[in-house]
Amino acid sequence: MLRDKSCVDGILVCGEIRQNKIHSVTKELLGKAREIAGKMATRVTCLLICGQLDDMPEELFCFGAERVIVASHDKLEYFNQEITAKILSYVVEKYLPEVILAPATTSGRTYLPSVAAMLHTGLTADCTSLDIEDGSGLLLQTRPAIGGNVMATIKTPNHVPQMATVRPKTFRMPEKHVDGNGEIIFLDIPPSLLESRIEVIGKEYASETVSNVQDKDVIVSGGKGLRKAENFNMLHELAELLGGGVGASRPTVEAKWIGYPHQIGLSGRVVSPKCYFAIGISGAIQHLAGMQTAQKIIAINKDPEAPIFQIADVALCGDFKDIVPVLINRIRREVI
Amino acid sequence: MRIAVLIKQVPDSDEIKMDPDKGTMIREGSGNIVNPLDLNALQAALDVKKKCGADISVISMGPKQADIALREALALGADNAYLVSDRFFAGADSWATALALAVTIIKTGPYDIILAGEKATDGETGQVGPEIAAMLDIPCATYVSFMDIDDMFVTVKRTVEDGIETQRLYLPALITVLSDINDPAMPTLSGKKRARRSDISVISAADIDLSSEEVGLAGSPTRVVKIEHPKITRHTEFYCGKDIEHGIEHVMKVLKELAIL
Amino acid sequence: MTAKFDFARVTQTTVRDLVEIFGPSGVSVDREKVTAYSKDEVALHLWDKEYTADVVCFAENTEQISDLMRYANDKKIPVTPRGAGTGLSGGAVPAFCGIELSLERMNKILEFDMENLTITVEPGVVTAEINKAAADHGLLYAGDPCSGDASFIGGNVAENAGGNKVVKYGPTGNHVLGMEVVLPDGSVTWFGGKRRKDVTGYDFVHLMVGSEGTLGIVTKIILRLLPSSSFVVDLLVPFADVKSAIKAVPAIMTEGKSIPSSIEFIDKQSMLLTEEYLRTKFPFSNEADAHLILQYEGNERERLADEIEKIGDICLKQGALEVFVADNRTVKDKLWKGRKSVAEAVWAHAPIQVSNEDVVIPASAVADFMRELDDICHGAGVKYAAYGHLGDGNMHVTLYLEGETPGWREIIGDVRQKLYTIVIKLEGTLTGEHGVGLKRAAYISQFLDDAQIDLIRRVKLAFDPNNILNPGKIVPWE
């Protein structure tokens, strides 16, 4: 939609619901929305599109939402991108937000583009920082480009809403306020929105170790340097010990040593955990782009010249087969 | 069955070199390749063709030299190729790109299914596919790692964060695929020969009745306001040989500081 | 000629003296480390005893090596030089204990000379880095061993490593113009230089190349570079049977009127094991008994494409089941990853109960060789995987037994001997690029006559009168 000052109101945060629970990225986005709402002198609304909801939506008031819209229907037990997009479009037309922030998850990265196309507005994927431009009050959306080698700042000058997706763990979880309160709206969903050309047949949930590397505080990743598939076992052991997930470089996924959901990098998942172990990963640009925002990077590699060492906090130069078991034992001593 | 496959020519990310001072990409010397996931999309189309017969059109938006990418697709077994290329398309964001491709799809269609890679390795927004689907008003499934087509439906498995979803979409539909959907085949000599001798239709903005205001930078809702070159600021502690023991203690310290242990 | 193996032992004093030369961080007696540095990629169980050095030293410059050799020569302590440890003949295994000398810290590219088209490197530079550095300058370093991602150039020179581009460019020795060498007595000299011609004295450069670290320690190497081609295309060509694959090669060369830079051969068993190892699929892996990989280079895209069409048609005429064309990075990577992983794949499948051979047969006799190989293996119930550089008749044959077979050493040893007999009959030789080293020294007398073996010993002692540098290699001494 072309911008029309009279009909835009506030920031809308799209919540992420997984297995009937509010996912933490929702709160991370609310924290950021709160911050920029201050600069825009506007309010923050959170939209939850879900089947059942086990969590209390009121909880979100403590994280920066002033209003929560709950669009809940049995048909949404599993994610349906078509219905979700239609509901979001409907909410936008009804409440006219100026800015929409959404999680850059597999679902957010699916229905947000649909909505941007339907509403004819801009959408910036995978933003790593958001701000408000002085004067214009426009949303400044910064994202990595060319494999993370440059940061591009983008704005949407003439269209509304201004839309951006953000990966989990990009922004810090805000402090929880005890006295949060606000308005809850249970959306009356017009039946036409629930019609879909997509039938969701079912969902197999992944085991805990496989699922969701993006959500982990620790990621233990392996590369070609592991030499063979079996050596990933050692990484699984280390990851499990630290309550983390296992990641992998593209060549190992291409060699089918490990499944695609584990792939970190430009053509896989982009992560920013607290701690990232890169084991036997030389550090191709394509991989670095997927993990260089981790708080701490620990690299283990035989080659002292491996590019991964240039971005590591701790560089252990040697054969992973010598180092990883020692590390595992050392940690085991600590946790037991 | 008629299938459209959207492909993009991208710089070979294994060969990207950066100018460390300017923060710009050094284009010379680095080759271009077909976006790897788009080859998976094409292979998915070829698998359908093998199973039940299909006419496959590949469509790419890009400069003239992107015809190499289209010829590669033809060599692999695509039947027709369209290069959406016009100086007016320059500077398009994902919305404007999606519009030009959506209109091309209408003009060259109709298609029963449209396939694309989940994202391209250069822009990696993953937005163009779902945006096209919305513009064409057809259902769309992303992150697809398995696909099966019968007359009216396509059944897909979507690999998402916490598992695998199975969905059935009414055709026509748009599907974006992941690399584990298949193993792209290698082009054959006869395919190469045919591709070399094929004509590639070049489609301009005028050919699809779009004005210069509707496409490229002019038709893009977003604007790049600045490009910065971030400097990585990490102080690397390097441990080697006998020092590895100290290195492991350092790792322990880090894990404790981060409250992981 | 009498052998000289009366060496001194390494004592605490020796280690102190070595620390004087290399500094404390340049000497290790840590058992684990010394053991690790005493191996190459020949499986340990194939040795008749355990060979472990007493101490490992890490040289950083020529002076240290010169000091070391003067010292060792004086004290009569054996010194075994070592590169990346990717050798396949036990060349870096310390047959008489003593000092293992690692060259891994001498890993700098010293000079790029764009006028003379040379690159000067230290011996510990990884080969693939030289390939890459040359490519970054628009040039080609044509050495391309399959181990190139790991092996050092020093080791390539010592073994005269071959690899995938030998058919057009020759083995490593063809690219070596000069070298700085520390002789066993500690003196430092230069053989050759940046010159393309040189008959001033003997051609010591090419005596050193392939001498397996027995004559001197190479400390700097000047390599020849070539202009690189703008376009490279690889063909993967499956054939129903081995014979038609091999017989196609002369036709490809003569009718094709151009020399491919690679003609590689992979038999069915090698292909299937590689698929299993990489968990990927190659076309026609089940239908074809043999795959060829051909590589062509050119500077004009269209002309190269014409040439490829012609070559491809010749292959089809020769009975190829299909011709696959790899002209972009994605497909080429897959193809060459496959080829370069064959050795590891076979090793992963058959880590023990094996014999890894590196024989060379005149190109015209490869088909006969493969037929006889099949016969003897079949007769003895031994499996084999064969692959290699068909263009130069260099076949890597792994003989192996699956399951636990009592007496496997004898069974495999017997087949190996039969294999050697065939190779000799076909006027082939023992090793093409892996080297004799320790592993094959006992067999060399089947391939070389007494006069030549005696000459090898005399040359060795002319360089190294005390026989302290990498003793016990290439020819039997006792």
Q: Residue A203: inside a domain, yes or no?
A: no
Closest residue in C to B188 (Cα) is C324
User: Hey, which chains touch C, using 3+ CB pairs under 8 Å?
Assistant: A, B
Q: Is A74 left (phi over 0), alpha (psi -120 to 50) or beta?
A: alpha
Please enumerate in sequence order all residues whose Cβ is within 8 A of that of C2, keeping only pairs 6 or more positions apart, or say none. none
Residues A161-181 as b or e (16 or more Cβ within 10 Å = b): bbbbbbbbbbbeebeeeeeee
Count of C-beta atoms within a 10 Å radius of residue A231: 18
Question: What are the backbone dihedrals phi and psi of residue B37, each rounded to the nearest 5 degrees, phi first?
Answer: -65, -25
- Give me the mean pLDDT over the C16-34 stretch: 92
Do C110 and C121 meet the contact criterion of CB atoms below 8 Å apart? yes
| Closest approach of C177 to chain A, Cα-based (Å) | 27
C323 touches chain B (CB under 8 A): yes
| Closest approach of B15 to chain A, Cα-based (Å) | 9
As for how many domains chain A has, the answer is 2
C223 and C247 co-located in one domain? no
Chain position carrying tokens 């799809």 = B105
CB spacing of B162 vs A318 below 8 angstroms = no
Residue B180 is predicted with a pLDDT of 86
**pLDDT at residue C266 above 70?**
yes
The reply to whether A280 sits in an annotated binding site is yes
Beta bridge partners of A178: none
Instruction: Indicate the pLDDT class of residue B15, thresholds 50, 70 and 90.
Output: low
Which chain A positions have a beta carbon within 8 Å of C279's beta carbon? 229, 255-257
CB spacing of C279 vs A228 below 8 angstroms = no
A212 and A175 co-located in one domain? no
A39 and A146 co-located in one domain? yes
d(CA C32, CA C41): 17
Do C61 and C9 meet the contact criterion of CB atoms below 8 Å apart? no
C323 and C336 co-located in one domain? yes
Look up residue A68 and give its amino acid.
V
Q: Residue A324: inside a domain, yes or no?
A: yes
- Give me the mean pLDDT over the B206-217 stretch: 92
DSSP structure class, residue B190: H
| Closest approach of A254 to chain C, Cα-based (Å) | 8
The reply to whether A266 sits in an annotated binding site is yes
**pLDDT at residue B28 above 80?**
no
Give the CATH number, domain containing residue A138: 3.40.50.620
Closest residue in A to C108 (Cα) is A305
Of B36, B183, B186, the CB nearest to C324: B186
Residue B228 is predicted with a pLDDT of 82
Count chain A–chain B contacts defined by CB atoms under 8 A. 279
Of A170, A194, A218, the residue that ends a domain is: A194
A26 and A74 co-located in one domain? yes
Q: Is C308 left (phi over 0), alpha (psi -120 to 50) or beta?
A: alpha
Residue C147 is predicted with a pLDDT of 87
Of B36, B222, B244, the CB nearest to A154: B222
Residue B205 is predicted with a pLDDT of 94
Residue of C37, C104, C132, C278 to mutate, testing the A interface (most A Cβ within 10 Å of its Cβ): C278
C237 and C322 co-located in one domain? yes
Residue A7 is predicted with a pLDDT of 60
A49 and A90 co-located in one domain? yes
**C-alpha torsion A113→A117→A120→A121, nearest 10:** 10
Of B127, B226, B241, the CB nearest to A113: B127
- Give me the mean pLDDT over the A317-326 stretch: 90
Residues spanned by the domain of B185: 2-203
Residue B236 is predicted with a pLDDT of 87
**pLDDT at residue A209 above 60?**
no
3-state helix, strand, coil in chain C (%, to 5): 40, 20, 40
Give the CATH number, domain containing residue A250: 3.40.50.1220
The reply to whether A52 sits in an annotated binding site is no
Of A110, A211, A284, the CB nearest to B14: A284
Count of C-beta atoms within a 10 Å radius of residue C442: 12
C279 touches chain A (CB under 8 A): yes
As for how many domains chain B has, the answer is 1
**Residue A161 preceded by cis peptide, ω within 30:** yes
Q: Residue B113: inside a domain, yes or no?
A: yes
Residue of C34, C328, C336 to mutate, testing the B interface (most B Cβ within 10 Å of its Cβ): C328
**pLDDT at residue A268 above 80?**
no
Lowest mean pLDDT among A39-43, A158-162, A182-186, C309-313: A39-43
- B93-124 pLDDT, tens digit each: 999 999 999 999 999 989 999 999 999 888 78
Can you read off the two tokens belonging to residue C155? Answer: 């080791």
Q: Residue A166: inside a domain, yes or no?
A: yes
Can you read off the two tokens belonging to residue B245? Answer: 């023991």
d(CA A331, CA A328): 5
Q: Residue C71: inside a domain, yes or no?
A: no
C178 and C263 co-located in one domain? no
A77 and A220 co-located in one domain? no
d(CA C179, CA C190): 6
d(CA A268, CA A106): 12
Closest residue in B to A323 (Cα) is B244
Going from the C-alpha of C469 to that of each of A333, C34, C70, C79, the distances in angstroms are 46, 18, 11, 5
C214 and C241 co-located in one domain? no
Count of C-beta atoms within a 10 Å radius of residue A113: 31
Chain position carrying tokens 């961080």 = C25
Which chain C positions have a beta carbon within 8 Å of B191's beta carbon? 325
Chain position carrying tokens 């997706």 = A165
Give me the helix-helix angle, C62-75 and C12-22, nearest 10°. 160
Of A133, A164, A194, the residue that ends a domain is: A194
C254 and C296 co-located in one domain? yes
Give me the helix-helix angle, C366-380 and C408-425, nearest 10°. 160
Of C126, C280, C348, the CB nearest to A256: C280
Residue B14 is predicted with a pLDDT of 61
Please enumerate in sequence order all residues whose Cβ is within 8 A of that of A231, keeping only pairs 6 or more positions apart, or say none. A222, A280, A320, A321
Of A109, A218, A314, the CB nearest to B237: A314
Beta bridge partners of A72: A50
C337 and C385 co-located in one domain? no
Can you read off the two tokens belonging to residue C337? Answer: 């990853």
- Give me the mean pLDDT over the B51-77 stretch: 94
B59 touches chain A (CB under 8 A): no
Nearest alpha-carbon partner for A202 in B178, B171, B154, B156: B156
**pLDDT at residue A80 above 70?**
yes
Count chain B–chain C contacts defined by CB atoms under 8 A. 56
Residues spanned by the domain of A25: 11-194
CB spacing of B37 vs A267 below 8 angstroms = yes
Beta bridge partners of C384: C399
Residues spanned by the domain of C275: 231-343
- C57-98 pLDDT, tens digit each: 999 999 999 999 999 999 999 999 999 999 999 999 999 999
The reply to whether A51 sits in an annotated binding site is no
- Give me the mean pLDDT over the C268-297 stretch: 93
C311 and C260 co-located in one domain? yes
Of C208, C227, C246, the residue that ends a domain is: C227
- Give me the mean pLDDT over the A242-271 stretch: 85
Which chain C positions have a beta carbon within 8 Å of A303's beta carbon? 126
Residue C401 is predicted with a pLDDT of 92
User: With pLDDT > 70 as the criterion, what percentage of chain A qualifies?
Assistant: 96
Going from the C-alpha of B180 to that of each of A209, A210, A233, A288, the distances in angstroms are 19, 15, 21, 21
Give the CATH number, domain containing residue B100: 3.40.50.620
The reply to whether A139 sits in an annotated binding site is no
Nearest alpha-carbon partner for A182 in A58, A303, A298: A58
Count of C-beta atoms within a 10 Å radius of residue A2: 9
HEC assignment per residue over chain A? CECCHHHCCCEEEECCEECCEECHHHHHHHHHHHHHHHHHCCCEEEEEEECCCCCCHHHHHHHCCCEEEEEECHHHCCCCHHHHHHHHHHHHHHHCCCEEEEECCCCHHHHHHHHHHHHCCCEEEEECEEEECCCCCCEEEEEEECCCCEEEEEECCCECCEEEEECCCCCCCCCCCCCCCCEEEECCCCHHHHCCCEEEEEEEECCCCCCCHHHCCEEEEECHHHCCHHHHHHHHHHHHHCCCEEEECHHHHHCCCCCHHHEECCCCECCCCCEEEEECCCCCHHHHCCCCCCCEEEEEECCCCCHHHHHCCEEEECCHHHHHHHHHHHHHHHHC
Of C126, C280, C348, the CB nearest to A228: C348
Which chain C positions have a beta carbon within 8 Å of A326's beta carbon? none
Residue B21 is predicted with a pLDDT of 56
The reply to whether A114 sits in an annotated binding site is no
Q: Residue B240: inside a domain, yes or no?
A: no
C189 touches chain A (CB under 8 A): no
Q: Residue C66: inside a domain, yes or no?
A: no
C113 and C218 co-located in one domain? yes
CB spacing of C309 vs B193 below 8 angstroms = yes
d(CA B152, CA B163): 26
Do C169 and C261 meet the contact criterion of CB atoms below 8 Å apart? yes
A161 and A23 co-located in one domain? yes
Output the CA angle C452-C206-C191, nearest 5 degrees.
125
H or E segment at C133? helix C127-136
C175 and C189 co-located in one domain? yes
- Give me the mean pLDDT over the B221-250 stretch: 85
Instruction: Indicate the pLDDT class of residue C103, thresholds 50, 70 and 90.
Output: very high
H or E segment at C359? strand C354-360
d(CA B28, CA C347): 40
CB spacing of C309 vs B12 below 8 angstroms = no
| Closest approach of C332 to chain A, Cα-based (Å) | 14
Can you read off the two tokens belonging to residue C310? Answer: 């012609």
C313 touches chain B (CB under 8 A): yes
d(CA A182, CA C414): 87
B133 touches chain A (CB under 8 A): yes
A177 and A314 co-located in one domain? no
What is the rounded average pLDDT for all residues in chain C? 93
Count of C-beta atoms within a 10 Å radius of residue B8: 23
**pLDDT at residue A271 above 90?**
no
As for how many domains chain C has, the answer is 3
User: With pLDDT > 70 as the criterion, what percentage of chain B qualifies?
Assistant: 92
Which chain A positions have a beta carbon within 8 Å of B251's beta carbon? 298, 314, 316, 327
Q: Residue B230: inside a domain, yes or no?
A: no
Nearest alpha-carbon partner for A167 in A101, A122, A123: A101
User: Hey, which chains touch B, using 3+ CB pairs under 8 Å?
Assistant: A, C
Of C126, C278, C348, the CB nearest to A255: C278
- C446-457 pLDDT, tens digit each: 999 999 999 999
Can you read off the two tokens belonging to residue C10? Answer: 């390494």
DSSP structure class, residue C196: S
Closest residue in A to C105 (Cα) is A304
Q: Is B77 left (phi over 0), alpha (psi -120 to 50) or beta?
A: left
Q: Residue B130: inside a domain, yes or no?
A: yes
Closest residue in C to A259 (Cα) is C279
Give the CATH number, domain containing residue C312: 3.30.70.2190
C429 and C333 co-located in one domain? no
d(CA B152, CA B170): 6
Give the CATH number, domain containing residue C390: 3.30.70.2740
**DSSP 3-state assignment of B181?**
helix
Which chain C positions have a beta carbon within 8 Å of A229's beta carbon? 279
Which chain C positions have a beta carbon within 8 Å of B15's beta carbon? 329
d(CA B82, CA B101): 10
Of A194, A224, A249, the residue that ends a domain is: A194
C219 and C258 co-located in one domain? no
- Give B 216-245 residues with CB within 8 A of chain A: 220-230, 232, 234-241, 244
CB spacing of B189 vs C331 below 8 angstroms = no
A171 and A286 co-located in one domain? no
**DSSP 3-state assignment of C346?**
helix
Can you read off the two tokens belonging to residue C99? Answer: 């000092």
Closest residue in A to C347 (Cα) is A228
